[in-house]
């Protein structure tokens, strides 16, 4: 079964310095039909103006991934991490018992475009931790995060039953993916593809349940994220 979430159906908020699209309920946006999908609790597409950002704020008991599409984001947290995240990198923060952090666009000219992703953890109340990895050259399908007991070198170890892939296909290329978990979500970053009889474009997402194989074909050069997970 395929459940389409079109880009224009998402929640939207314009804060002036921040334009943000919410796939699932977040902040003042609440959609009872779209509060989560499996372990995927938050999937926000953010556009942050130059020299603007998110002030220091707390998180608890959430697995948080940040994926930069363009621009750069400066991060500081109460664990002592101070880093800059750029395209072709993925940042991970396991909030556990609690962490404070801030995120800021350090550029005076260039907006930053990013996806912020929250995944529900297996266990609450663990010690917070941080990781940041460089993604390999654009590959058809690259594993970037996996359950911690199954994660290898340069793969983020999640405290959750979830696998996260970054995918790239050139126009007319296709791939077949055999799911590991019971639910999947594909989020389009750039381009357009066919999946499950649906055409999906930039900003669209599609939830998948009870499918033994996923057949994906690019209609144009495309980048996407694939989440493979157990039910929440």
What pTM was computed for the model?
0.96
Split at pLDDT 50, 70, 90, the class of 54 is confident
**Helix, strand or coil for residue 170?**
coil
Q: Give yes or no for residue 141 having a pLDDT over 90.
A: yes
Instruction: Summarize pLDDT for 149-176 with one digit per residue, the tens.
Output: 888 889 999 999 999 999 999 999 999 9
Quote the percentage of the chain above a pLDDT of 90: 87
Question: Could you tell me the residue ranges of all domains in the chain?
Answer: 2-229
What per-residue confidence (pLDDT) applies to 202? 98
* CATH code linked to domain 2-229: 2.60.120.10
Tokens 């909030």 map to which residue? 95
Split at pLDDT 50, 70, 90, the class of 71 is very high
Instruction: Strands of 170-221 (E only): list them.
Output: 174-177, 183-190, 192-195, 198-201, 205-209, 214-218
d(CA 177, CA 148): 21
What per-residue confidence (pLDDT) applies to 20? 97
The DSSP 8-state label assigned to residue 231 in this structure reads: -
d(CA 82, CA 69): 20
């Amino acid at each position: 079964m395929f459940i389409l979430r079109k880009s224009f159906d998402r929640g939207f908020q314009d804060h002036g310095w921040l334009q943000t699209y919410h796939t699932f309920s977040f902040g003042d946006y609440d959609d009872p039909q779209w509060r989560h999908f499996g372990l995927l609790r938050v999937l926000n597409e953010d556009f942050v103006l130059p020299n603007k950002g998110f002030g220091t704020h707390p998180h608890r008991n959430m697995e948080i991934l940040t994926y930069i599409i363009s621009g750069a984001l400066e991060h500081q947290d109460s664990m002592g991490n101070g880093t800059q995240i750029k395209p072709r990198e993925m940042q991970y923060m396991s909030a556990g018992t609690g962490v404070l952090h801030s995120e800021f666009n350090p550029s005076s000219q260039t907006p930053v475009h990013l996806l912020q992703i929250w995944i529900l953890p297996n266990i609450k109340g663990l010690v917070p931790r941080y990781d940041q990895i460089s993604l390999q050259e654009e590959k058809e399908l690259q594993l970037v995060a996996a359950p911690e007991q199954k994660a290898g070198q340069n793969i983020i170890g999640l405290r959750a039953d979830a696998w996260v892939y970054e995918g790239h296909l050139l126009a007319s290329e296709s791939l077949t993916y055999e799911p590991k978990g019971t639910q999947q979500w594909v989020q389009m970053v750039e381009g357009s593809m066919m999946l499950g009889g649906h055409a999906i474009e930039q900003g669209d997402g599609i939830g998948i349940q009870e499918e033994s194989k996923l057949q994906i074909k690019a209609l144009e050069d495309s980048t996407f994220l694939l989440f493979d997970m157990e039910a929440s």
